């Protein structure tokens, strides 16, 4: 499908009703949040961000070497990816990153939207700053161990699940068991077949997939679970173990945010590190003078754990509090692109970055969208509705459609008022004659009001039955565009759309503007 055949509609995020007040305040540059970020995400702001970012030649060499090693899992590296890998050695090259878990088959659509936002951000920055290079990066959450969040996806309304007994960091999982998922799918998908049948682990498989999808755009996927890269984290590990610095600073910021009625998105621990080996990723806790790894028999004295960190930094894994700092330590990065909750949790971290003298990146909200295929677009317009109308709650939308059908809402409130007034008069008359009759009149009044309420429902039901088919079509359309009552991007998988529209990704690249701060509706014509 030619991407030019797409009709594009933009609307304010606030108008969708799907985004938090925190994000609304951020996008409107509310003064109350100003202390919690560095530069607001405008193209012009990157001039200052570039000057603030410090990244040495030695750091670039380490990064380049690690990436060359990691990309050995990709059979044929796209020339644009190889070009970007090599450009990372140049002092005028910077990255724009987004991060996400290793969801099987790419998981929900917003994973795709994050990456496209990074790609488009780099393109716009290159236009504005031609003397610099900008590389889109996907930070692979290989060290995450929450398997239940990544082991499933929904395709054409059916849920598929990967079953395995493996434990520890998911990036190290073998792909055993994924062949069963492949066999359950309604058709063969060569890209995923190749990745899951021929990769040694989930990290390699995910790199193969993102390369197949976005190699032509120069996307570089980074796996932080690497011994040489982890050396940059050693000073942080030391302070974490001896001073518990991150927890103290984050708790201070949390208190400030709470005073402003902003809810904290992530929770800090006294020690924000895990101990990581094959099949194991468990929290490190301090008990008196001993450092213990939860749910194991592993323990260290201070000197022993210092030596472990010095000799094997790869065995220490940052949690959600320290991972952003780690990202910025090993990448020449300018901006982080995330969903609403992610952007909000980065607000908790600025003081931590200042303590380590690391430039705090520009925080960018990823693009969000609603994709309406030709069939659903046709149904929507036959109902006389516009794309923006679909964001109403169903009952409100149903009333809106009734108005379109020139049907007034069934409401017997005036009649209830008249009946109540009549019984009030009867009650007064009865009271004057015999006060004991007042209770009986009240009971009859309630019966009459109940009858009116019942009649109102019957009349409304009879009216609705006249348009039952129309309302059923509306309900089905609403469910298709907002599966399980949530945004399409939080539920549906890439294959739901790319299978029928091979140009799905180019259409998104063409439609999304990362600096516009608008929700994008793409409608097939």
> CA geometry: angle at 365 spanning 490 and 94, to 5°?
120
* 27 in a structural domain: yes
Residue 488 pLDDT greater than 60, yes or no: yes
Question: Please, is 56 exposed, middle or buried when counting C-beta atoms within 10 Å of its C-beta (0-12, 13-18, 19+)?
Answer: exposed
Residue in this structure with the two tokens 């409401």, named with its chain if needed = 411
pLDDT at 413: 85
> Among residues 318, 333, 348, which one ends one of the domains?
318
| pLDDT tens digits, 195-225 | 999 999 999 999 999 999 999 999 999 999 9
Same domain, 481 and 492: no
Query: 177-181, 377-381, 447-451: lowest mean pLDDT where?
Result: 447-451
CA-closest candidate to residue 81, choices 91, 129, 70: 70
State how far the alpha carbon of 313 is from the alpha carbons of 58, 275, 353, in Å.
18, 10, 20
Same domain, 303 and 343: no
* 250 in a structural domain: yes
Helix (H), strand (E) at residue 520: strand 518-524
Same domain, 57 and 179: yes
Listed as own residue / partner, the contacts of 381-385 with beta carbons closer than 8 Å and 24 or more positions apart are: 382/473, 383/470, 383/473, 383/474, 383/477
* 377 in a structural domain: no
Helix (H), strand (E) at residue 236: helix 234-242
As a whole number of angstroms, the distance between CA 487 and CA 492 comes to 9
For residue 406, what pLDDT band results from cuts at 50, 70 and 90? low
Q: Which residues contact 288 (CB under 8 A, 6 or more apart)?
A: none
pLDDT at 457: 85
As a whole number of angstroms, the distance between CA 17 and CA 1 comes to 31
Q: In what order do the strands lie in the sheet with 6-12?
A: 6-12, 518-524, 369-372
Same domain, 508 and 433: no
* 89 in a structural domain: yes
Same domain, 95 and 216: yes
Strand pairing class (316-318; 273-277) = antiparallel
Q: In what order do the strands lie in the sheet with 316-318?
A: 299-300, 290-293, 280-287, 273-277, 316-318
pLDDT at 429: 87
Total structural domains within the chain: 3
As a whole number of angstroms, the distance between CA 262 and CA 254 comes to 9
* 379 in a structural domain: no
Same domain, 30 and 83: yes
> Among residues 318, 341, 359, which one ends one of the domains?
318
Full residue range of the structural domain in which residue 472 is found: 384-485
pLDDT at 400: 86
As a whole number of angstroms, the distance between CA 180 and CA 272 comes to 36
Same domain, 26 and 126: yes
Question: What is the average pLDDT across 76-91?
Answer: 97
Do residues 264 and 366 touch, judged by C-beta distance below 8 A? no
Chain centroid to CA 239: 31
CA-closest candidate to residue 110, choices 342, 312, 400: 342
- Please provide the DSSP assignment of 62-83 as one string: HHHHHHHHHGGGSSS--HHHHH
CB atoms within 10 A of CB 499: 15
* 294 in a structural domain: yes
Same domain, 290 and 428: no
* 378 in a structural domain: no
- Which two three-digit tokens encode residue 292? 């213990």
pLDDT at 315: 97
Helix (H), strand (E) at residue 193: helix 190-198
- Which two three-digit tokens encode residue 467? 């348009």
As a whole number of angstroms, the distance between CA 338 and CA 352 comes to 19
* 202 in a structural domain: yes
CB atoms within 10 A of CB 299: 14
pLDDT at 522: 96
State how far the alpha carbon of 158 is from the alpha carbons of 151, 279, 285, 375, 492, in Å.
14, 30, 41, 20, 10
Arithmetic mean of pLDDT over the chain: 94
Same domain, 113 and 138: yes
Same domain, 414 and 394: yes
As a whole number of angstroms, the distance between CA 162 and CA 168 comes to 16
> Among residues 318, 337, 360, which one ends one of the domains?
318
pLDDT at 135: 98
Residue 491 pLDDT greater than 90, yes or no: yes
Strand pairing class (518-524; 369-372) = parallel
| Helix (H/G/I), strand (E/B), else coil: 198 | helix
Do residues 497 and 371 touch, judged by C-beta distance below 8 A? yes
Same domain, 401 and 437: yes
As a whole number of angstroms, the distance between CA 138 and CA 221 comes to 5
pLDDT at 3: 53
Q: Where are the beta strands (DSSP E) in 326-401?
A: 333-338, 362-365, 369-372
Secondary-structure breakdown of the chain: helix, strand, coil percentages, each rounded to the nearest 5: 55, 15, 30
- Please provide the DSSP assignment of 38-52 as one string: SS-S-GGGHHHHHHH
User: Phi and psi of 237, rounded to 5°?
Assistant: -60, -45
User: Phi and psi of 103, rounded to 5°?
Assistant: -55, 135
pTM of the full structure: 0.88
CA-closest candidate to residue 298, choices 319, 284, 316, 287: 284
pLDDT at 321: 97
Question: What is the average pLDDT across 101-125?
Answer: 98
Question: Please, is 489 exposed, middle or buried when counting C-beta atoms within 10 Å of its C-beta (0-12, 13-18, 19+)?
Answer: buried
Residue 1 pLDDT greater than 50, yes or no: no
Residue 337 pLDDT greater than 50, yes or no: yes
DSSP assignment letter at 108? B
Question: What is the average pLDDT across 103-130?
Answer: 98
| pLDDT tens digits, 342-379 | 999 999 999 999 999 999 999 999 999 999 999 999 99
Question: What is the average pLDDT across 465-489?
Answer: 90
Same domain, 477 and 494: no
């Amino acid at each position: 499908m030619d991407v030019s055949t797409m009709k594009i509609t933009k609307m304010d995020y606030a108008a969708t009703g799907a985004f938090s007040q925190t994000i609304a305040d951020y996008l409107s540059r509310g003064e109350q949040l100003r202390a919690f970020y560095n530069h607001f995400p405008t193209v012009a702001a990157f001039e200052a961000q570039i000057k603030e970012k410090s990244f040495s030649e030695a750091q670039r060499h380490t990064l380049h070497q690690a990436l060359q090693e990691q990309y050995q899992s990709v059979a044929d590296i796209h020339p644009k990816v190889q070009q970007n890998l090599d450009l990372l050695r140049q002092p005028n090259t910077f990255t724009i990153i987004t991060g996400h878990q290793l969801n099987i088959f790419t998981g929900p659509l917003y994973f795709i939207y994050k990456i496209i936002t990074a790609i488009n951000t780099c393109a716009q920055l290159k236009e504005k700053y031609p003397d610099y290079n900008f590389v889109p990066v996907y930070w692979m959450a290989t060290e995450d161990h929450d398997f239940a969040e990544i082991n499933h996806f929904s395709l054409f309304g059916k849920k598929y699940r990967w079953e395995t007994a493996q434990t520890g960091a998911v990036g190290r999982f073998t792909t055993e068991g994924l062949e069963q998922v492949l066999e359950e799918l309604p058709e063969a998908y060569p890209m995923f077949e190749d990745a899951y049948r021929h990769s040694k682990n989930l990290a390699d498989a995910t790199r193969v997939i993102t390369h197949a999808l976005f190699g032509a755009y120069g996307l570089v996927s980074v796996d932080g679970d690497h011994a040489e890269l982890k050396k940059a984290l050693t000073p942080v590990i030391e302070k974490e173990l001896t001073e518990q610095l991150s927890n103290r600073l984050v708790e201070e910021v949390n208190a400030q945010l709470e005073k402003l009625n902003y809810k904290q998105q992530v929770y800090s621990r006294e020690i924000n590190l895990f101990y990581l080996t094959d099949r194991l990723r468990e929290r490190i806790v301090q008990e008196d003078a001993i450092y213990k790894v939860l749910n194991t028999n592993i323990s260290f004295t201070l000197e022993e754990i210092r030596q472990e960190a010095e000799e094997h930094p790869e065995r220490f894994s940052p949690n959600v509090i320290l991972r952003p700092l780690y990202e910025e330590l090993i990448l020449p990065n300018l901006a982080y692109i995330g969903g609403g909750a992610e952007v909000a949790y980065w607000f908790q971290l600025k003081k931590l970055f200042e303590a380590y003298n690391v430039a705090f990146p520009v925080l960018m909200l990823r693009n969000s969208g609603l994709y309406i295929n030709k069939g659903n677009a046709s149904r929507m317009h036959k109902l006389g509705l516009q794309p923006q109308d679909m964001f109403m709650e169903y009952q409100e939308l149903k009333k809106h459609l009734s108005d379109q059908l020139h049907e007034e809402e069934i409401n017997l409130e005036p009649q209830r008022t008249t009946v109540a007034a009549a019984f009030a008069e009867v009650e007064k008359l009865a009271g004057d004659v015999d006060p004991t009759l007042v209770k009986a009149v009240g009971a009859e009044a309630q019966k009459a009001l109940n009858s009116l309420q019942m009649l109102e429902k019957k009349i409304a039901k009879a009216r609705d039955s006249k348009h039952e088919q129309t309302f059923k079509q509306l309900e089905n359309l609403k469910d298709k565009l907002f599966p399980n009552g949530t945004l399409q991007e939080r539920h549906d998988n890439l294959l739901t759309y790319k299978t029928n529209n091979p140009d799905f990704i180019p259409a998104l690249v063409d439609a999304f503007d990362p600096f516009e701060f608008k929700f994008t509706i793409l409608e097939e014509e």
